Structure formats: structure tokens, C-alpha cells
Chain A
Amino acid sequence: MPKYIFSLIVDDEPGVMQRVVSIFSRRAVNISRISVGPSEISERTARIILSFEAEPRKAKFMRNLLSRLISVKKITQLKSDDAVIRELVIIKLKNHHENILEQIKQLTRDSNVALVNYVKGYAIEISGPSVEIDHILNHIDQKYVTEIVRSGIIALKK
């Protein structure tokens, strides 16, 4: 099924996520990634970026249903060939190990990788396309890893 990314400008108020999410849950469409943050448009609005898989007719239906919501001010559909799409992952390490950093750098083409020194040890922050992050996580040596956290995606029309 094709993947879709919608960027929504919504009223930043309690329950707005529930409204958006229930449009999907009621039609048994799974939101694979979602992120929310303040929007630059005004203090009272937020931006939600969400992605899901659906047949084209269903995706159009979802878009129309979202546009019915009073809290949704604007919907933009982002296409992967015309948008910057980024996900952030933080890999907390058991101890600072050069091997894994090298390993990751070799797996990386379009992502930014940074080794960060937290108070209680080291971690690697990677921001990049989800596919590449999937690829990296599938290939790194798990023995150095304590915890992995991934954000939803954020995306912007080029």
C-alpha cells in the first residue's frame, strides 16, 4: 500500500490529538509515525506530521475527514520526492565504544551522526531518513546498546 505523509496545522488545545487520531482509528488505519510541535504560525497552533499506509481512495477519504475537523486549519500532503523527511534516533550506549560509532558512520549516507557525552555515559544521535535509520538499527551490534529511542518523523516541503 502506498505511504502518505500529512502535515497538519491544528489548534493547540487539549484533545486535538484525540480528534485527529480517532479519524484513523475508527477506520482501522494505523498511523505509523506521528509528531507534534509548536507551529511558527501562531502561539495557538501546532503542527502535526503523521504518516500512514492506505489505498489512494482511503487516503483521500482520510484527508477529507481531517479537513472536516474544526480544529484542523490546514492540511498539506508531503511527497517523499518533494520533501525533507527526518527522524531522530538516540542510541544509548553501554560504554563509549569507537567500534559502534565507526560502524554507524559506514552505514550512513544521508544522516547526521553525533556522539554525545551525557552525564552517565555516551549516546549516539542520528537524524536522517527513516529508511536509513531502519537500516542502521538493523545492522549495529546490539551488545553495545542499552536503549534506543526514535521520534516520529518531521517533514517539510522542499
Chain B
Amino acid sequence: MNMLSGSEIVLEVLKSRGVKTVFGLPGGAIMPLYDELYDETSIRHILVRHEQGAAHAADGYARVTGEAGVAIATSGPGATNLLTGISTAYADSSPVIAITGQVPVQYIGKDAFQEADLYSLVIPITKHNFLVKDVNDLARIVNMAFDIALSGRPGPVHIDLPKDVQTKKATRKIVFKQFYTGKTPILSLRRIKQAANIIMKAERPVILAGGGVIISNAAEEIRLLAEMLPAPVATTLMGKGAISEYHPLSLGMIGMHGTKPANYAIMESDCLIAVGCRFDDRATGDEKTFAPKAKIIHIDIDASEIDKNIKSHLSIIGDAKEVLKSLIYYMQTAGLKKENTQWMSRIRQLNKDYPLPEPEETHPIKPPLIIKKMNSILKEDDIVVTEVGQCEMWTALYYKPRKPRTAVFSGGQGTMGFGLPASIGAKAAKPDSTVIDIAGDGSFLMMCHELATSVENNIPVIAAIINNRYLGMVRQWQELFYEKRYSYTFLGEKTNFVKLAEAFGAKGIKVTRCSEIKEAFITAIKSGETTVIDFEVDRECNVFPMVRPGGQIDKMIG
């Protein structure tokens, strides 16, 4: 019988799992796998320029599809370059499969060339990880990696693959089956009923939708629940897209840079239905004063999130979609009849009294105006990815997604440099969608070399740089909390982003006037080319509203 080599096994399993695209960069210890990839026609390999880019691209791919994203790197520095990306995926529960070469088994632990102890390094930042020592275990391990990454609360899985294991032939036939079914929680109907009874009695219910809603594809259930109660829906950063922000019940994001209606509604609520969120400190502000009047019902698939940050009155462990379905079904059969006119008129009042600050068409450009103008151009399947900092928060406040998986942020880790490679991953997965990376000039430079990946692989994304020549969010904090002592946040003025784009073979557009914003986006979209738009903006524009770190979320500045 013709037995498969380790490399062939990896590719066979990837194909059997429906993987069409992988991101990576070869090196010594992963060469056998790359040799196999050379003839592989059904997997598209996208060559990045730095391994961190591969991890973020795989992450972006995973977030917009809900499927596993695959990143490949060599041993040692290639593998350690993935770590920031793996950590980013872990913090935001994204199913990334990272495969790295390792020195041959007999050299492990002997400080061989390009050897690093990846097994230990990734333990705290993966859902699980493997070191493959026997090629006969490989098929089981790669299959398990997919099952683990995608089941329950998703997360990254790392496979460390010694070079000799890649070349060795298996002596056993490979089996394709599911090896790991996840630790599926059993849904407590008693708790569903208890929750339903609390919700049905509530006079001021608010739904808080987190990233778990997106992951479990429960946006439709969120809308149903919101409309039947009726209850307004606030989201966390990761939950953006869980409800169309054009829906009348949408409040926008909560938290430090949340909208006023969202934060006020949470503070006034007598019943907070929190779905698939982990009550991050940036979302809750001071946890002692968070939602003081509300009975909090916390729905999450991960039991360790319950009472971790915010004590709930009732928790339901389970998949968001399943729990919401049961909840809705129970309330419908229990004959829920609610008008809730008082609360609804209060919500309408909040939305009317506290709209987002309207950016004026002044010179220099106010950054929120860029996002507002972008909204008017984008179609519902178009995707916005961001870098981290002010650019991210302006997007969180002003970008209005209509669908899940069209807003991609590095939430938990806040990884600068995430946006460009993640948008490449997103575009590779959804070539028919326009993908825009809303960047700051600081974040953008961290991964700007990935422009080459975008151009050379013909994955045209648009990088819209909100160029204020500062590490803007840090500068904003220095202005507000450090007496305007701008310690090392000014980046200088010489970097020419148009030339930078052109040097990589991308298109560069410079925008200085409000009247040019829309046209720049349209030109970039129409060109079908990788485009960098350099928006020269008001350098000291702050993101408002804002809650002081650790402050009460209804005490907002701006």
C-alpha cells in the first residue's frame, strides 16, 4: 500500500476539512511541507512578508467566515513571530490553526539551529497545542486541532511539526473522523424558565450582545428577542454586527468609548440580558457601579466567564443560539404580551437626546467624518477591519454594520498592526466584498510591509489611514490624564504614505479636504487595486464620548 508522508497527511486533512486558503512563509524546518504545497492545486497559499501577518490574516479569514484560518511558519523565529497573532486570536476566541516546523525529533531540546520551545510558549495563548513526534499520530492530531479550534468557545490551536515527521511515511492508514466533540454543556431548561420569568417581569430590559453572538451565528435570534420583548440592543466591541445598527432598537456599543444611549440604557435597565460577552473592563468601567439596578442574566458557553468580572443573578451555560432559541420559544408559549411603551419611549428619547457628535465638514478633516462617509458607500456585505487605538474607536462609534462578520477588531489584545493583514485574510475569504482597513498611522506602520502580500497575491484591500502623526490614543490619554505631556507619541511628519504605497506597487491617494473623502473611497473601490488612502486629519482630535478608565460608564466626557 502506498503510505502517505507527514506533509501529505497534513494537506489531506486540510483538504478534507474544506481549507482552500492558507497563509504562511517558508523556512528550513517547514520545507518538506512547502515542497508538498508546491504541487497542491486545491489549496491556495498566500505568501506573507512576516509571520505575524500570516497569523493575523488567518485570524481575519476565520472571523469573517466562521471557519478555521490556517497559518504556517517555520521553527524558531518564524514560529515566535506568530505568537502575537496567536495571542490576538486567543483573546477574541478566533479559530486559528497555526502549524510550525520544528527541528527534527532527535534534535529537540539540544538548542539546535532555529529551535524554540514553542510547545511551552503557546500553552497560555492557545486553546490547545500539540507536538507531533510520531507521523502515525499526525492525522488524528490535525483533525483534532480543527475540532478543538471550532468547537465550544473557539480558539487557536498550535501544531508543532518536526521536520523529520513531515518526511516520514506513516505505517498506518490515515482515518478521517471527528476525534473531539467538545465539552458540550447540557442546556438547563430550569434556568431557561427562570430567565424567561425574570425577563418577562422586567420593565426596562436591555440586551447586551457580545462576540459570542457572532460566533454562534445568533444575530437573527437577538433581533427576534429584541423585537418580541421589546428591548434595545447594545453590543460590545466584539459584538458589533450582532444587530444591524440601522435597526431602531440598536443602541451601538457600550463601554469606555460607547455611545451615551447604550451606556445610559444599561445603567437604567432592570434586566440585562448579556449574551456571549465577558464583561471586559473596557466595556463595564467600574464593575461595582455597572448596571446597578439590573438583574443580570449571563448567557455564555464558557462557564469560566460566569461571575469572573461581573456577578450575575442567573447564568445559563450554552451556545448563544441554542439558549436564545429556547428562551424565545419558552416566552412565546408562556404568552408574552408586552408593550413596554414607557421604556421604548425612554429609549427613543435617549437616542434623540444623545446622538453621536456630528462631525463638521471643517478643515483639517475630523476623523469621524471619514467613517460616516464610508458608511454611505459600503454595501451590507462589505467588511471593515481596523487597526488599534483612536482609529478603532472612531470606527466602533461611527461605523454602522448591517450584518454579523462585517466588523473586525482586535478586541481583547488590542494588537496594533492587526488591521492590514487581517483585512487581507478577510478579502481572501470574501473576494466579492470590499474590505477596508481603518488604520492609524502608528498601527499601520507596524505591518505596512503586508502591502506587498496584498499586491503580489492580488488581494486588493483598502487601507484608510487616519493620519494624525501621533500615536493618537496614547496622546489623547496624555492630554486628558498626563497634563498634555506628549511623551514620545509624536511620530514626525516625513513618512509619505502615498510613496510608501507606490513603492509596494499599490495605489496611493492623499486626501486633505472633506470634499475628497467620498471620492477617494469610490476611486479605491472601483480601481480593484490595493489602495492606501492617506487622510490628513485634525491631529489632536479626541475620541468622544469617553469614560475615564475604571469610571462609571454613565459619567462620560465629551
- Considering only residues 299-319 of chain B, those with a C-beta below 8 Å from chain A are 302-304, 306-308
Say whether A70 contacts B303, CB under 8 Å: no
A112 within 8 A of B: no
How far is B303's CA from A70's CA once the two chains are assembled, in angstroms?
A: 14
Chain A residue contacts of B183, Cβ below 8 A: 67-68
Say whether B128 contacts A70, CB under 8 Å: yes
Say whether B127 contacts A22, CB under 8 Å: no
Say whether A57 contacts B180, CB under 8 Å: no
- Considering only residues 49-67 of chain A, those with a C-beta below 8 Å from chain B are 57, 60-61, 64-65, 67
The chain B residue with its CB closest to the CB of A26 is B124
Q: How far is the CB of B89 from chain A (nearest CB, A)?
A: 16
Q: How far is the CB of A1 from chain B (nearest CB, A)?
A: 18
Say whether A18 contacts B120, CB under 8 Å: yes
A15 within 8 A of B: yes
The chain B residue with its CB closest to the CB of A23 is B124
Taking A15-B123, A26-B124 as contacts, is the C-beta distance between A68 and B302 under 8 angstroms? yes
How far is B183's CA from A69's CA once the two chains are assembled, in angstroms?
A: 10
Say whether B123 contacts A61, CB under 8 Å: no
Say whether A61 contacts B308, CB under 8 Å: yes
Counting chain B residues whose Cβ lies within 8 A of the other chain, the interface size class is 10 to 19
Which of B119, B123, B307 touches A57 (beta carbons < 8 Å)? B307
Chain A residue contacts of B303, Cβ below 8 A: 64, 67
Say whether A68 contacts B304, CB under 8 Å: yes
A135 within 8 A of B: no
How far is B306's CA from A57's CA once the two chains are assembled, in angstroms?
A: 10
Chain B residue contacts of A61, Cβ below 8 A: 304, 307-308
Q: How far is the CB of B91 from chain A (nearest CB, A)?
A: 14
How far is B261's CA from A4's CA once the two chains are assembled, in angstroms?
A: 44
How far is B521's CA from A135's CA once the two chains are assembled, in angstroms?
A: 77
Say whether A65 contacts B304, CB under 8 Å: yes
Chain A residue contacts of B304, Cβ below 8 A: 61, 64-65, 67-68
The chain B residue with its CB closest to the CB of A69 is B128
B553 within 8 A of A: no
How far is B158's CA from A19's CA once the two chains are assembled, in angstroms?
A: 14
Say whether B123 contacts A70, CB under 8 Å: no
Which of A18, A64, A71 touches B306 (beta carbons < 8 Å)? A64
Chain A residue contacts of B306, Cβ below 8 A: 64
The chain A residue with its CB closest to the CB of B183 is A67
How far is B120's CA from A64's CA once the two chains are assembled, in angstroms?
A: 22
Say whether B119 contacts A15, CB under 8 Å: yes
How far is B303's CA from A61's CA once the two chains are assembled, in angstroms?
A: 9
Say whether B148 contacts A22, CB under 8 Å: no
How far is B312's CA from A57's CA once the two chains are assembled, in angstroms?
A: 12
The chain A residue with its CB closest to the CB of B311 is A57
Chain B residue contacts of A15, Cβ below 8 A: 119-120, 123, 131
How far is B154's CA from A68's CA once the two chains are assembled, in angstroms?
A: 11
Say whether B307 contacts A18, CB under 8 Å: no
Chain B residue contacts of A71, Cβ below 8 A: 128
- Considering only residues 12-29 of chain A, those with a C-beta below 8 Å from chain B are 14-15, 18-19, 22, 26
How far is B152's CA from A69's CA once the two chains are assembled, in angstroms?
A: 12
Which of B123, B128, B153, B308 touches A18 (beta carbons < 8 Å)? B123
Q: How far is the CB of B96 from chain A (nearest CB, A)?
A: 16
- Considering only residues 455-500 of chain B, those with a C-beta below 8 Å from chain A are none
Say whether A70 contacts B302, CB under 8 Å: no
Say whether A22 contacts B124, CB under 8 Å: yes
Q: How far is the CB of A111 from chain B (nearest CB, A)?
A: 38
Most buried by B among A14, A15, A65, A70: A70
Which of A14, A26, A60 touches B307 (beta carbons < 8 Å)? A60
The chain B residue with its CB closest to the CB of A68 is B304
How far is B129's CA from A22's CA once the two chains are assembled, in angstroms?
A: 14
- Considering only residues 381-397 of chain B, those with a C-beta below 8 Å from chain A are none
Per-residue CB proximity of A68-84 to B under 8 Å, as 1/0?
Answer: 11110000000000000
- Considering only residues 116-137 of chain B, those with a C-beta below 8 Å from chain A are 119-120, 123-124, 127-128, 131
Q: List 27 A-B contacts (CB under 8 A).
A: A14-B119, A14-B131, A15-B119, A15-B120, A15-B123, A15-B131, A18-B120, A22-B123, A22-B124, A57-B307, A60-B307, A61-B304, A61-B307, A64-B302, A64-B303, A64-B304, A64-B306, A65-B304, A67-B183, A68-B127, A68-B302, A69-B128, A70-B127, A70-B128, A70-B148, A70-B180, A71-B128
Which are the 10 A-B pairs with shortest beta-carbon distances? Answer: A64-B304, A70-B128, A64-B303, A65-B304, A22-B124, A19-B123, A22-B123, A70-B148, A68-B304, A18-B123
- Besides A19-B123, A68-B127, A68-B304, 8 more A-B contacts (Cβ < 8 Å) are A14-B119, A15-B131, A22-B124, A26-B124, A61-B308, A65-B304, A68-B153, A71-B128
